[in-house]
Amino acid sequence: MYDEKQQPQHGPLAGFTVGVTAARRADELGALLQRRGAAVLHAPALRIVPLSDDSELLAATKDVIHQKPDVVVATTAIGFRGWVEAADGWGLGEDLLDRLRGVELLARGPKVKGSIRAAGLTEEWSPSSESMAEVLDRLLEEGVEGRRIALQLHGEPLPGFVEALRAGGAEVLGIPVYRWMPPEDITPVDRLLDATVSRGLDALTFTSAPAAASLLSRAEHRGLLAEVLAALHHDVLPACVGPVTALPLQAHGIDTVQPERFRLGPLVQVLCQELPGRARTLPIAGHRIEIRGHAVLVDGELRPVPPAGMSLLRALSRRPGWVVARSELLRALPGAGRDEHAVETAMARLRTALGAPKLIQTVVKRGYRLALDPSADTKYADV
């Protein structure tokens, strides 16, 4: 018999597959997910291109040096560092730092503060929420009429930010430190889209709005947008690091989960809570089984299951205890055609993978059924 108090010997994400679209810090996010047991499918939806040789950044840097801004808003650590490094390459590094020492320097969060201080500067203020909305509120409360504000752009949309400042009478100068561009190799992105459509993923993570927009754009280019959106609506959990990142998905009516703190660690913790909570748990033949993405927990033991076997198990679990006809199970098998022998082959492999053959009963000339415990506590029977 199963024991509810049995301590799990696996991570909270064991048996789940998570897609990672990040270009920057993807290794860190992947390691956090794998440490908690997840299988990770990584496909950077974008690449970051520094603008150290870009005429726009050079012109904006000279503008800041020659015409002092009242306020400079630093939005990302990598962007601020890139700006200073690019200025050094042009022989303008000291001039830029001297200018920044004499302005109101605002930092979006602690990592940006670190890069500012590493450059020998000190920020005047940073929001506790790490939110650009709070930065905007502060500026508008101070009053921006006639003020010149330099904003370090970081590739993500800032809905209403620049417009609100200009409406308040400010002059806004954008500092384009780097650009987002499509990946040089699109194959991993296509593989990720195919896995999303086929429900080979349990969750898809986004750490920037441009990445989300780029993935949806590629899906539309391939004629898969409707299928990808359907998967994200119902089966594949979209997880975003924050509300700005979620905007391209929300524009298509996709609800996302987000951590309270816009960081990778809290994003992973959200997945650790959400995905196990979505798993189907049933009392079958004296065992407690939990159906996850590509594996099943049998009395707390993780049992990997082939894709065909998972398709059969999900079909059976929709009506636990009821007989499911071979013809219906055949339809659940991807690419099986009309040969019902494929059901028998996949069922044999499923039983072997589960390690407990009595979980699934054969009903002669009719089909198969999960051996649902007749006296099962209804909290396990999601029927």
pLDDT digits (tens, 9 = 90+) for 170-218: 999 999 887 778 898 999 999 999 999 988 999 999 988 889 999 999 9
Query: In the chain, which residues have pLDDT < 50?
Result: 1-8, 377-383
Alpha carbon of 122 to those of 107, 173, 238, 306, 332: distances in Å? 10, 21, 37, 56, 61
Q: Which domains does the chain have, with CATH numbers?
A: 17-46+183-278 (3.40.50.10090), 49-180 (3.40.50.10090), 280-370 (1.10.10.10)
* Entry pTM: 0.72
Instruction: State residue 52's pLDDT score.
Output: 55
Instruction: State residue 3's pLDDT score.
Output: 46
Instruction: State residue 336's pLDDT score.
Output: 58
Give me the long-range contacts of 97-105 (CB less than 8 A, separation at least 24): 97/121, 99/64, 99/65, 99/68, 100/64, 100/72, 102/68, 103/68, 103/69, 103/70, 103/71, 103/72, 103/150, 104/70, 104/71, 104/72, 105/71, 105/72, 105/74
CA atoms within 13 A on the CB side of 358: 9
User: CB–CB of 19/39 below 8 Å?
Assistant: no
